[in-house]
Structures are given as structure tokens and as C-alpha cells.
Structure 1
Amino acid sequence: MKSTQDIDRLNRNRSILALLLIVPITSIGALCSTVIAPGAIGQGIAICCGIWMLIFPLLWQISIERQPLRWKLSLDGAIVGILLGVLMFGSILGSYWLVGRYRLNIPDIRARVNQMGMNIPLMVFGFGTFQTLVNSLIEEYVWRWFVFRHCARLWTQTRAVWISAGFFTLHHIILLAAYCDDWRLVVIGSIAVFVAGVLWARCAKIYNSLLPSYLSHLAADLALQIASWHILLG
């Protein structure tokens, strides 16, 4: 019979492996789609990485943890999520309209998007809608349900908030650097993503629910998509 220490060590080792198998994947997809192989090949790799991010936590929960799948989307914290979402929506659009649209190299961004074959208006709107409604939920499920939980096994829950937010920021840094030729915008954008990750992880910690973070994440992504539509479609 295994002792408590043996079980704790096994769980910690499992969490280390789980994080190693999921945290770098989005960064790999971002690098391939924007830097290493922009175009069909890079997009294909990014899609495969996205599929992995979706199915790996499910497979891990069923086959390794051997626990039923549980997501809590109760109304606890919904008002907090809505208020955070309104604040993020206004901050993102305000920052873009007052500063970003003058600092960003819009012709270069359009050229990069054209290179990726994502310049068709219907595709732009379809991708933006998916990012806003679906991808924001997937990211909460990955980073706040799966990654945060395994970080909390290795560190305290308070530290897990900051560490999981750091992991969440990594692939955003790559994307920001790929589309912004002003390093100051990359730094400011990365800090903003990290702060958002901290807030969303704290919501998951306090309310034990994905709903607050999903609602605010959805609002933030909607603001980003509105800015993207303005950049790409004029």
C-alpha cells in the first residue's frame, strides 16, 4: 500500500509531465504559423496544436487521473466576470483607438495576414467569431481548469495564479512580436495579457468556476476582434 508521501510524489510527477506536454504546444503552433512556416503548412501545424490542446486534458483526466470530467459553470461570480469584461473591453478598444492604430504598422500586418491566406473578409469574420465565442472558452478550459490545477499541485494556489498566468502569456508574446514591430507595444501587450491571466486565474481560484473568467475573456476577445476587423478590413 502506498504511503501519503508516495501518492503526493506521484501526483507531483504527473503534474510536471502534464505541464510539459501542454504548456509549450501553443507556443510551437504560434511560432510555426507566424515565423517558421507562415502559410498553409504553418497553419496546419497550428491547427494540430490547437486540437492537441483540446483533447489532451480530456485524455489525461480520463486515462491518467481516472476521474470524471467536471466543469463548473455556476452563476457564482458571474457579475464579477461581466464587470471585468466591460472594463477589459473598454480598455482594449480605448487603447487601440487612442494609441494602437497610430503605432501599429497596419500595412505590414495586412501583408503578414495575406501571406497566411487569412485576408478574405468572410474568413476574417468567421475566424473572429470563433475566437470570441469558442476559443475563449477553450483557453479557459485549458489554462484555468487544467494548467492552473496542476500548477496548484506543485506550488501553492496563490503562486499557481501567477505561474499559470505566466505560462498563458508565453504564446501571446510570440504573436505580439510577430505582428508588432514596436517593442514597446510588445512589452505593454504582454503585460496586459499577463495581468488578464492573473485576474482570470484568481476568478477560478475564488469561485471554483469557469464562468467569470469566460465572460470577461469573451469580452476581451470581442474587443480584440473589433480592432482586428478595423485593421484588416478598414
Structure 2
Amino acid sequence: MNSTSTNDRFSHNRSILALLFIVPPSSIGAISSTVLAPGAIGQGIALGCWIWMLVLPIGWQLFIDRQPLKLRCSSHDGLLVGIILGAMMFGTIFASYWLIGRYWLDIPDIRARVSQMDMNVPLMVFGFGTFQTLINSFIEEYVWRWFVYHHCQILWSKAWAVWISAGFFTLHHIILLAAYCDDWRLVAIGSVAVFIAGGLWARCMKIYKSLLPSYVSHLAADLALQIVSWQILLG
């Protein structure tokens, strides 16, 4: 076996390990905070998983791959694509809620479940929503598009990596949707929407090799979701 094939096999095995270490914790955190132990314990487990997912990619890049950390600015075209995608997602989320979601959702039940997690205080709702919109949207792009997509394209073609990484991104969202929505139609529609969004954001990363386009559109989508959440939880 020549050195090139040996290096390729080593790189593939390393990427498999990277995905095994980064993909399951998101689902573990989601199911702990919503199903297994809603409340302080579940939130603590979810926080631990979130910190793990935040730290692991940096440590992997520096100490396993032995590569410097790099952040690239996008071209004007990439930024424009991110703004257009964000506007479309923002409008789609709002229209979906006002036309369908508010009639299908069991809002009293959602409020009761959120109350179990001690997350129904207005200050916490606004604070959590602001964090999700500004910071967590970037962290998700950094984890799923910068780290997960990178390792997916080592294992599969770039085209397949776009949708496989989107599938990994969708897994923990399915758990969260199922935890708050008893209507399977909402879970299915929401899961498909997250999968498509994840694919579009991964494709932005593939084309522009920058997190900026996907972050801008992700921020807009999360802002719409948080406004809808505020409406649901606080009236």
C-alpha cells in the first residue's frame, strides 16, 4: 500500500471519528433537556453538550489536524446571496406561522412544557431569543458548516456532503420539534424545512468557502423563529 492511500485512509478514519464525536452530543443535549430531564438537570446536560460542541472543533483543528484557525470574509456576491436567502426564510417562517402554524399548534400545551423548563419568564424568553439569534446561529454555522461539512466532504463527494451534513444538522431539530409539537404534520414540515435550510447553508459554504452568507441568512431565520416564539409564549 503506497503512502498516498495510507494517508487517505488515515484521513477518512479521522473524519469518521470527528463526526462521531460531534454529531451525537447535539441530540443528547436536545433529548435530555426536553424529554429525559426537563428542568435544571436536563438544561445542565444540554449546556455541557453545547460547550463540548463549541470547544471540540477548535481543539480538533489545532491538535488533531494541526491546521491554523482561519476565518474568511465572503465576496459581495456571497453576502448578497446570504441577505436574499435570509429575507426569503424570514418571510416563509412568518407566513407559515400565520397561515398554518397558529391553527395547528397547541399553544397552551407548549407554554406548559416550557414552564416545566423554567423558561417562560419574559426576561428569560427575550434573553434566550437574543442569544439564539445573534450567537447560537453563528455557533451552529461554525459547527455544522465549517466543521461537519468539512469532514463530510472528506468521506463523500462535495455534492453528497452538502445533504449528508444537512441530515446530521436536522437530527436534533427533529427531537426538539417532536418535544413541543404533538401534531406529526408540523414535525414533518419543520424537519423538511430545517433539512432544506441546512442544505442551502452547506451549499453556500461549498461555493463561497465562508461562513458569512450562511450566518446572515441563519440569523434572519432565527430572528423570525424567535419573534414567533415570543408571540406563542408571551402572547
TM-score relative to the length of structure 2: 0.98
Residue 113 of structure 2 aligns to which amino acid in structure 1? R
Distance, in Å, in 1 between the alignment partners of 2:32 and 2:170 is: 17
Residue 46 of structure 2 aligns to which amino acid in structure 1? A
Alignment correspondent of 1:158 = 159
Confirm whether residue 15 of structure 1 aligns to residue 15 of structure 2. yes
Deviation track 1:75-123 (CA, whole Å, cap 9, x = no partner) reads 3400000000000000001100111011101011000110001011001
Distance, in Å, in 2 between the alignment partners of 1:71 and 1:116 is: 36
Number of residues paired by the alignment? Answer: 234
Q: Is the 8 A contact 1:75 1:211 kept in 2?
A: no
Moved >3 Å (runs of 4+): none
What are the residue-to-residue correspondences of 1:65-76 with 2, within 5 Å?
Answer: 65-76=65-76
Residue 194 of structure 1 aligns to which amino acid in structure 2? F
Q: Is the 8 A contact 1:22 1:53 kept in 2?
A: yes
Residue 64 of structure 1 aligns to which amino acid in structure 2? I
Q: Is the 8 A contact 2:86 2:216 kept in 1?
A: yes
Alignment correspondent of 1:128 = 129
Residue 123 of structure 1 aligns to which amino acid in structure 2? M
Alignment correspondent of 1:192 = 193
Distance, in Å, in 2 between the alignment partners of 1:227 and 1:121 is: 14
Distance, in Å, in 2 between the alignment partners of 1:57 and 1:78 is: 24
Deviation at 1:72, TM superposition (A): 1.4
Deviation at 1:71, TM superposition (A): 1.8
Alignment correspondent of 2:43 = 43
Alignment correspondent of 1:97 = 98
Residue 218 of structure 2 aligns to which amino acid in structure 1? H
Distance, in Å, in 2 between the alignment partners of 1:52 and 1:145 is: 16
Q: Is the 8 A contact 1:85 1:216 kept in 2?
A: yes
Confirm whether residue 86 of structure 1 aligns to residue 107 of structure 2. no
Give the RMSD, CA atoms, in angstroms: 1.1
Deviation at 1:73, TM superposition (A): 2.8
Distance, in Å, in 1 between the alignment partners of 2:217 and 2:199 is: 12
Confirm whether residue 55 of structure 1 aligns to residue 55 of structure 2. yes
Q: Is the 8 A contact 2:32 2:46 kept in 1?
A: yes
Q: Is the 8 A contact 2:74 2:213 kept in 1?
A: no
Distance, in Å, in 2 between the alignment partners of 1:50 and 1:161 is: 23
Alignment correspondent of 1:106 = 107
Q: Is the 8 A contact 1:173 1:186 kept in 2?
A: yes
Residue 99 of structure 1 aligns to which amino acid in structure 2? I
Distance, in Å, in 1 between the alignment partners of 2:59 and 2:51 is: 12
